[in-house]
Structure 1
């Protein structure tokens, strides 16, 4: 007989301003423990050395994670020119050095090639799977392997400042699956000087930004207290980009059982993906068609009649 997960049936989002050091998984574990939550997950990994927005989903909010993962995200990062590392960041070993340094004009001239729909080869020290193995594990074992290029949408890539000849601060807004370390590596290659990331901060992710984030210290201070629930944001915030479909009581009950349910009002067009609402709560996500919500993801939050 399987073990039952212990914890509270609470649903919502906790937005952490992640410090450098812990893994994203460790942060999720800390939040889950502090909230006493039965279930938790995160919407987009940050490397241990990276800081900034890490959106942690609790309970039924975990079913809305894909809508944050697919959303645009923004990063501010510092590139160190003149050195290539085997990890494409400052944690790795320097494997190549260059005397050349780019000017601000050189950098700006190179940026358009890295915007729009581009292809990108993820770093070898990444969680990409190669024949069932993580790339970082193969890299640590000095295995010889290649990673296929992947599509990436970059909405914007801008030079923010150039503190000195060796470093530049950039800001990037991109879609899912982007590796900032690969941008730094490839930009350095294009400029003929090499480069790697020395600092990386995610400043926003979909509807979440650093202004509505909390620190791990705040989480630890309020752990296991009633006051900690005030840090939680509603499930529905992750669905801001989807039309809402209000359900009738019978429709909410049907949708809760995984069946099509009657919609009383929506601005959606037939065929649109919508979120079904009853008494202000998201109870399902699905397709609006024929005046009905056809659920493909049910949130177990239908209020009791």
Structure 2
């Protein structure tokens, strides 16, 4: 029997709310963070295009188990639409495909916004990660194929016009999972009869994280830089201590779920997969999903039925 390979990296866990710069892809960002932290595992909660900046939540270690909960959260974007041109990619990257001399007025734009609020149907861009017959749409688009991508239901909580001048308009949108902001720019341009594409895009929030949680690449590189003393002594633990201070606890992604506080003894039983009785006057009696925590640390996600916590997913750290 072959021996299992030793895991590479540190068993560090938590969420890094990364302020991704323009020009860096989401996969590249995850690889950079994983390397800086020397983490065993890493993943992100929601792709950002290279031309977009802003919040890219990156999960390390055990936090990767909570990625779906962040993926389902609401997101807020601030974006600029340049009117008069439609592009193949619906942003600055692709060539111009349609042009117009028309420029919409602020009144025309505001009158259109209700059409893009609530539950609507949206067709993703040709250059997107949607799979068509097993292949990514952007791969087919790069080969010159025009593919039919079916429209799908998305939800827009709000769409606000922030400013409009010189043929450009700035918007802020709060939206649900699966929304393509590039498609919003494209479709609004078509409805206004002037065409449009994304000129700037920044994601400012991913529920439950806020702008106060953002950590820049410069902050991380400064934290990772060994001092003269640590280089002399070979004390790399100091370097990682500064980096780990930038992380949010794994449970930060689940603060909106019902919370159950347990003892260390109960935590040990739950980690073995055993259901336990939930005690306490304020403990929920029923919940499809809830968090069990001990000493402020996430122990498990599970269901509460008739006063019993039944673990579905346990966490080792």
Deviations 1:145-174 (A, max 9, x none): 21111111110001000132x110000001
1:197 is aligned to 198
- Asked whether 1:239 is paired with 2:254, we answer yes
- How many residue pairs get matched? 300
TM-superposed CA distance for 1:269, in Å, is 4.3
Give the secondary-structure state (helix, strand or coil) at the position aligned to 2:51.
coil
Question: Which of 269, 272, 279 lines up with 1:254 in the alignment?
Answer: 269
Distance across 2 between alignment mates of 1:34 and 1:281: 24
Which residue in 2 is equivalent to 1:274? 290
Tell me how far 1:272 sits from its aligned partner: 3.0
Question: In the superposition, relative to structure 1, how do residues 162 and 8 fare at CA in structure 2: closer, same or farther (>3 Å)?
Answer: same
Q: State whether residues 184 and 195 of structure 1, in contact with CA within 8 Å, keep that contact through their aligned partners in structure 2.
A: yes
Asked if the contact 1:52/1:210 (under 8 Å) is kept, the reply is: no
State the 1:30 CA deviation. Answer: 1.0
Aligned to 2:212: 211
Please point out which of 138, 141, 144 is paired with 2:143. Answer: 141
TM-score normalised to the size of structure 1? Answer: 0.94
Q: 1:246 to 1:115 in 2, by over 3 A?
A: same
Secondary structure of the structure 2 residue equivalent to 1:264: coil
Structure 2 residue aligned with 1:42: 44
Which region of structure 1 is more displaced relative to structure 2, 253-262 or 69-78?
A: 253-262
For 1:231, what is the secondary structure of its paired residue? coil
**Structure 2: any 5+ residue segments left out of the alignment?**
225-235
Helix, strand or coil at the partner of 2:279 = strand
Structure 2 partner of 1:174: 175
What are the within-5 Å matches in structure 2 for residues 219-234 of structure 1? 219-223=220-224, 225=239, 226-234=241-249
Shift of 1:67: 1.4
* Bigger mean CA offset, 211-220 vs 104-113: 211-220
The aligned counterpart of 2:99 is: 97
- Where 1:186 maps in the other structure, the secondary structure is helix
- Deviation string for 1:109-165 (max 9, x for gaps)? 00100010111111110111111110000010112321111111110001000132x
Counterpart for residue 290 of structure 1: 306
Q: Quote the offset at 1:252 in angstroms.
A: 1.8
Moved more, 209-218 or 233-242: 209-218
Contact 1:274 1:287 survives alignment (8 Å): yes
Q: Per-residue CA shift, 1:1-49, capped at 9, x if unaligned?
A: 4533211111111111110011111111111111121111111110001
Where do 5+ consecutive residues of structure 1 fail to align? none
Contact 2:16 2:248 in 1 (8 A): yes
For the structure 1 residues 60 and 160, does the alpha-carbon distance in structure 2 shift closer, same or farther, using more than 3 Å as the test? same
Q: Distance in 2 between matches of 1:30 and 1:222?
A: 14
**TM-score normalized by structure 2?**
0.91
Q: Is the 8 A contact 1:219 1:228 kept in 2?
A: yes
Q: What SS is found at the alignment partner of 2:278?
A: strand
**1:188 maps to which residue?**
189
- For the residue of structure 2 that corresponds to 1:237, the secondary structure is helix
Q: Distance in 2 between matches of 1:222 and 1:43?
A: 23
Alignment of 1:75-90 (within 5 A): 75-90=77-92
For 1:11, the equivalent position in structure 2 comes to: 13
Q: Please state how far the C-alpha of 1:248 moved relative to its aligned partner.
A: 4.4
Matched, 1:300 2:316: yes
